[in-house]
Structure 1
Amino acid sequence: MDQADIPSLLSRLSSDEDAMRKMAVFKLQSSINDPAFADLFISSGGLNILRRLIMTTGGNTLAYSLQSLSRLLEVDMGWEIFESSGSGELVERLVELIVTHPLVNILRGAMSILVAIVSHSQSARGAAMRTPGAFGFRALKPAVAVYPQFFEMVVSQLSSADHALCANALMLLNALMRDAISNDKDGGKTGGTVEEWPKFIKRLQDLGVIKAVYILMQSSSLQDLAHPLLEFQALTKVLLKKWRDVAVDLEKPEHRRALKGLHLASAPERKDSASGTTRLEGLVEGNTRKASRKHSPEKWRRLGFETESPTYEFEHTGFLGMMDVTDYVRKQEDTFQKLLMEQSSRPMHQRCPFATASLACTMILYQHFEVEKSDVEDAKSYLVLDGMKNYDKIFRPLLLQWSRLHAASLQTFFRLWKATGAERDDFDKVADLVRILVEQVVGQASRTKDVHDVEEELAEFEYPRLRELQMELLELTFEDEWGQHLHQVRDELKHEALQFVKEQRVRCLLQGAWFPRNIQQKANAGEDAYAVRNGKPQSTLWRYVRLSHNRRFLHYADFDAERDHEPALDELHEKIDLSTVSSVVSNVSASNDDASSTPSTLTAKTPSNTQKSNSTTKITINSYTGSADQKNNCSHNEQAERAILTLMPMTHSLASEWLDGLLMLLNQTPITAETNKLVGLVSDYSLKIRLLNVKLGDDFAAEPGAGAVPSREGLDEDYFYEV
């Protein structure tokens, strides 16, 4: 619209005919966001006409008028309409429209203007305005007093099907919350008392704003709501930080009431009755028992505090820690009392300190959600939000379920304490496990995952699996800090594990074992010929084999039946010199892939009830045949290799022990999956044992100057190094 048409436009806006006014204000809303046009419109007295339209009209005329004022404020002009006389009536009119009007287009405009009014006090220009109470939360208070259902109506619009209205409602709530919080920084000089912001936040929470925003953040329609939702998430972190910064002070009535409620919820009279501490004085004077309970030396230690001055133990968590512990006790009072009763039956050093555990869970969640990075870091996400299709990396709806996550984490703490048999000195270790579990379950939860599912996963996560996860994280930490040295340690431990397993396998050979003979009569013609030449019978059913004590000979003998006791070494009339063995071959390696993963033990006796097994596992011990002169005159390629002993193990574990035991005796590498798995298991546990007392937060970097060798300059022979 041409600026020369402004007088005509103002004339039509002032017309008594609604149709003419409607057309004029419709054209106004499309032109008023031009600063030059807006400046001339304001200087021509257009604000008064626009204000009159908002106060007196309805329908589309009112909707277009609200939209025009909103666009004017967007270009940072027209603020004087809220500084002139009658501005209070204008704000009250806007609040009235939100409370009473059903039309969406009117509600959107009214909320957009209120967002600008409340947010204006937080800008640089707004801070310098001379009119007190014209902007910010303060500007709305008189109107809200007239329409007390205002906040309820705004919160109800968060479930509106119109995304633009829903976004405006959330932006209004964000502006009100931010203004209430920011006015606390000056001690309430501009916005009332310091206590007002917690009451206002609690009022919004009671109206269901947390639940409504949580549902929006998990919904699939985030395009129009992304920015206000992200701001609400940032404000949630601001609130958590403010509550943590509030020191617990018994001079404040609400703090004193919270601690008193915590003590009373613990049912101290039940503890006195259960422990038989009824005092003789209580029979003489009725209130003596009450006084003694008040001054009990274990009043707060019984609740899990380290001292009898609990206020000092909230130093790191502030009032946030007190809110968490009191909220848990209020919602889980029966569980809380049962826990205290259970813990009171244990020795002091085995009790799980309830209060200290609760404070630890508060700090675990505080660090997990990176609350300290609230405003500045989250604001950077605005720049990349529009170009992102995957909102899971930005939105964290579980942050809004802080209370439930704290309760679930605390329950997990108790469960892990009991599962590990922890004592007071192990408190930090259990806290580390809870921290890892929160990172695993909460940190990896998708945006749409319900908090109930997260609670169940925290409650059902198995301790052995958690320990494995902890060791993996420790190894990754060491990998980052000590990668090269860690590889070297692993190699050394693997060599040690190989020697350990070799000794275990050889001891199985020293123990001896029974092998069935009836199913191997036709197994190897070479061995039969070898047996005939040595005059051995061919009709025996069992063979017993044992390694000699000097580990140089393999003794064996054949028997008609398996004996209940192992034959002595002098009963084994046959023997093989292991120095003459050329190779040991078997099909064990192929069949062992299906074997049980359970490592074999030092005693590997084949059960007698396996006699009827149809095992096809075979171990063949070969040697070069012929005279010594022939062996010396012929190369190994020309020598004939013959089987001198065949063993038919009945189990894969027995086969693995004997095959790899023989190979290791011949200084060869073990080949079965079971032995290799055992080697890996021993080496991994050796490494984990060295990492058990290492925490994820430990600093492994050497101090500056550490390890520097001092100069020898100026030293004589009488010197020493101070280590």
Structure 2
Amino acid sequence: MSASGHTSSAGRSPLSPSTTVNGNGTRSGALVPTNNVTTAEGVTVRTRIDPTLTVDDVVRQLCVNLKIKESPTHFALRDELDELVTNDNLRKKIKNKSGLKLVNAPAREARETAAKLSNKTEKNLKLLLFSLQKYIREEAFAREFLDHDGLNELVDVISTSTGNTLAYALTAMQNLMELEYGWASLTDDFILTIVHILASPQSLINVCRPATAILKKLVEADPSSLPGPQPASSSRIAAIAPPGSVYRYGFQAVFTQMRKERGSLETVVNRLGSAEMAMAQYSMMLINSLLAHASDDSWEEFIAELERLNVRKAVVRLMSLHNIEDLMTSCMDFKANIVRVTYRKKMTVVDPEEDVTHAEFLDHIWTATKLDEEMDANGQSLKWRKLGFDSEDIAQEFNEVGVLGLECLKKFIEGDPEFPKIISEQLSRPEERRCPIGKGSNEVVALLSEHWDIYAPGYSTATTFQPLFLDFHRVHSLATHFFIRMWSESGATSGDFPRIVALVRSQVKLALRKESSREWHEVEADFLESDYRDVRDRQMEQLELEDDLLSKIPVRNLRAKLYKESFEFVKQQRIQCLLQGAWFVNATPQPTNRDGVPRRPLRPWRFMRLDTSQKYLHYVDSAVKFPVRNGLEDLPERIDVSLISEIAGGTCASPPNMLREQNDFPPSSAPIPSPLSFSLLSAHEGSLADLIAPDSSRWADWTDGLNMLRRDGGHVSSKETFGFVQALTEIGLKIKLLDLSGEMVEIPSGLVAGAPPTNNDFFFSELL
């Protein structure tokens, strides 16, 4: 019987007042749940829907029984929250007795929306855009909207709107850009409009958030980010986007427009101090994307501008304003990006003849010494040897530390107004007793690089935030002053250089211990107030436990190479775990719902697996565990990996009264967060999944694997992964050294290149 009291036509009716369908599809006398269905005219009918029907069948028979004359293809069902009812969620909506609405089908709604947007006098534009920002995520709606010139109409609205209307339009564009098609025609003028909106001090927070997200998406839409497995190497690959691809923008497209809008980058950095955490996080994510995708042509300019704006200090200050757990992923991503920046500077050769900036830095350093240039007995300049280098070949002197060493020396001299007196005092001593300040500065850079694992771009295994690393230059200045003081207090001579370096290495380990929780004044005191004899005694104790061989430059370089290989090996192992898949518990997120009652998942178990394209996480929710076949046939649902902005740990609890299998999870009377829980968070959708791993190894596999998989990620969050990388590195190093020490081969502290051939009359012999 229909809701209006009439019997439906032939076939199974969705409007059956006294029947239900059990799990095998047969009818029983028990009553099925009743749903309220509301029509566009506001008529509400109580309806019992057969859950074995498809949505198309339900809509068709509703139209028949409600005597709607239009074609059923023009209609669809939505729930109270405007979520589209599909074949996948229909049964859940029926079981939960969700209120349903008979509304326009997505394609029809899209056509009408595009038409209304073209009417600039539309009175209900704000309401229209409010609905658009939700519907645009549905593929059927999006395709029809794009086919009817909806993108250009939306761009026009963004260009001419303000206030909440603009906020809704920007959010609609942000959601549209989650698709991998349809927005390849966005122009430079549009990007400049978004930059202008972002930089405007009058822009509201709800306007700035989607504007920031749009720029981030454009930065990441470069050809090298085309979907699919990432290359094994962390270096950027040359790629060309196919015709019509949205992956045709990238860093240069956005940064070029940011140059035109004065103060735009400064505004983004300043918003890291926003009291609104979401705004600070959006700004942090945009900065990370710019850092991760910076092009070679503009890299130096962009990094110099960020350094001028003191972005590192802004990030450290951000940690003091908000709960670090809320921003952990973004800040760890920033730290990993600064590792890349630091490594690149370290590997950039100092070449004052070719690079004007390098020449200016060197001139600035020499001018700050207030020394006069002299000549030696052979008529050669004594300029850089006066500063404590071994030769006048400045490129060779900075060979191990590159531009990073040059910058550190410049800032060290700039930060000490007494430096001219220090250098004059050293020059007044006998030559063999002079402290080699320039050489010592470079050695401190090498020691700090070793301490913070600056071995290769994109490889960082630190599991905690390291604020002192972000203050690299300041720590370098402290350690270099310590080097000079140890040299003087020990009465060192030129042959004691390795001994003083060993003292500095020991002090660096002491001062930078537990740096995530130490105050700056404590670090400062360790460097400035430590007595030489105490440092020497502690260093001697350490030498009994360590092998001096490990401090030699060739061995340090070997460790750097093995570290990179170990990280890549562990990364691939973690991703393989994701490809194999695993069972998790569907958890209760914190905080709970409005009533304060833990929200119990409908199905307590979830199996999740990454597809081979590394683009989607496919999953299935189940009441019990079952054998999952290879492939994706058993996994009907999926999560787009590109939507995951953060993997947060310790965020959720086991659902209450959950039936646990033996040896799975210990019972818990209170819904407290589990240390094995993690949430996949989206920048604007909240949590995409709340899960609990069966053990710490599975937790490390998935949290670190997903972090490594993210294109703007690269850090790890578990001590287990950190330990694996370190252990593999040390084991590999010891094996390599056994090969040498077994042959009693002497490893030099450094290699000196011989004189170049006087002519071209030579050849390289092939070793047999």
TM bin (shorter chain): 0.5 to 0.7
Q: 2:395 aligns with which of 311, 333, 350?
A: 311
SS at match of 1:75: coil
1:197-208 equivalent positions in 2, closer than 5 A: 197-208=299-310
Q: Mark the CA change 1:465 to 1:40 in structure 2 (over 3 Å): closer, same or farther.
A: farther
Distance in 1, Cα, partners of 2:741 & 2:378: 53
Structure 1 residue 177 displacement after superposition: 2.7
Structure 1 residue 362 displacement after superposition: 0.6
Distance in 2, Cα, partners of 1:33 & 1:69: 10
Structure 1 residue 124 displacement after superposition: 2.2
Q: 2:249 aligns with which of 111, 127, 135?
A: 135
Deviations along 1:642-671, one digit per CA (max 9) or x if unpaired, are: xxxxxxxxxxxxxxxxxxxxxxxxxxxxxx
Q: 2:385 aligns with which of 297, 301, 306?
A: 301
Distance in 1, Cα, partners of 2:137 & 2:208: 20
Structure 1 residue 314 displacement after superposition: 1.0
The yes-or-no answer on 1:109 pairing with 2:210 is: yes
Structure 1 residue 326 displacement after superposition: 1.6
Deviates more, 1:23-32 or 1:35-44: 35-44
Q: Mark the CA change 1:358 to 1:65 in structure 2 (over 3 Å): closer, same or farther.
A: same
Structure 1 residue 469 displacement after superposition: 2.8
Residue 235 (structure 1) aligns with: 337
Residue 477 (structure 1) aligns with: 546
The yes-or-no answer on 1:362 pairing with 2:432 is: no
Distance in 2, Cα, partners of 1:428 & 1:7: 76
Residue 456 (structure 1) aligns with: 525
Deviations along 1:468-512, one digit per CA (max 9) or x if unpaired, are: 332333333379x9xxxxxxxxxxxxxxxxxxxxxxxxxxxxxxx
Distance in 1, Cα, partners of 2:408 & 2:198: 35
Q: 1:52 aligns with which of 121, 138, 156?
A: 156
Q: Identical aligned pairs, as a percentage?
A: 30
With normalisation by structure 2, the TM-score equals: 0.53
The one-letter code matched in structure 2 to 1:153 is: T
1:630-641 equivalent positions in 2, closer than 5 A: none
Deviations along 1:557-612, one digit per CA (max 9) or x if unpaired, are: xxxxxxxxxxxxxxxxxxxxxxxxxxxxxxxxxxxxxxxxxxxxxxxxxxxxxxxx
Distance in 1, Cα, partners of 2:537 & 2:218: 55
Deviations along 1:434-467, one digit per CA (max 9) or x if unpaired, are: 111111111332x243434322321112333323
Q: CA RMSD in A?
A: 3.3
SS at match of 2:518: coil
1:156-555 equivalent positions in 2, closer than 5 A: 156-180=270-294, 183-184=295-296, 188=297, 196-251=298-353, 252-269=355-372, 297-332=381-416, 334-377=417-460, 393-445=463-515, 447-477=516-546
Residue 90 (structure 1) aligns with: 190
Alpha-carbon contact 2:158-2:170 (below 8 Å) kept: yes
Give the number of equivalent residue pairs. 443
The yes-or-no answer on 1:78 pairing with 2:182 is: yes
Alpha-carbon contact 1:217-1:397 (below 8 Å) kept: no
Distance in 2, Cα, partners of 1:320 & 1:267: 23
Larger helix fraction of residues: 1
Distance in 1, Cα, partners of 2:109 & 2:547: 75
Distance in 2, Cα, partners of 1:133 & 1:35: 19
Distance in 1, Cα, partners of 2:524 & 2:453: 20
Q: 1:144 aligns with which of 258, 263, 287?
A: 258
Distance in 1, Cα, partners of 2:141 & 2:111: 12
Distance in 2, Cα, partners of 1:701 & 1:88: 59
Structure 1 residue 404 displacement after superposition: 0.5
Q: 1:61 aligns with which of 165, 168, 192?
A: 165
Structure 1 residue 129 displacement after superposition: 4.9
With normalisation by structure 1, the TM-score equals: 0.56
Q: Mark the CA change 1:43 to 1:406 in structure 2 (over 3 Å): closer, same or farther.
A: same
Structure 1 residue 16 displacement after superposition: 4.6
Structure 1 residue 153 displacement after superposition: 1.5
Structure number with bigger Rg: 1
Alpha-carbon contact 1:265-1:337 (below 8 Å) kept: yes
1:674-693 equivalent positions in 2, closer than 5 A: none
Q: Mark the CA change 1:253 to 1:135 in structure 2 (over 3 Å): closer, same or farther.
A: same
SS at match of 1:33: coil
Any gaps of 5 or more consecutive residues in structure 2?
Answer: 1-83, 85-104, 228-238, 551-732, 745-768
Q: Mark the CA change 1:216 to 1:141 in structure 2 (over 3 Å): closer, same or farther.
A: closer
Q: 1:120 aligns with which of 214, 221, 228?
A: 221
SS at match of 1:421: coil
Distance in 2, Cα, partners of 1:110 & 1:119: 15
Q: Mark the CA change 1:431 to 1:339 in structure 2 (over 3 Å): closer, same or farther.
A: same
Residue 147 (structure 2) aligns with: 43
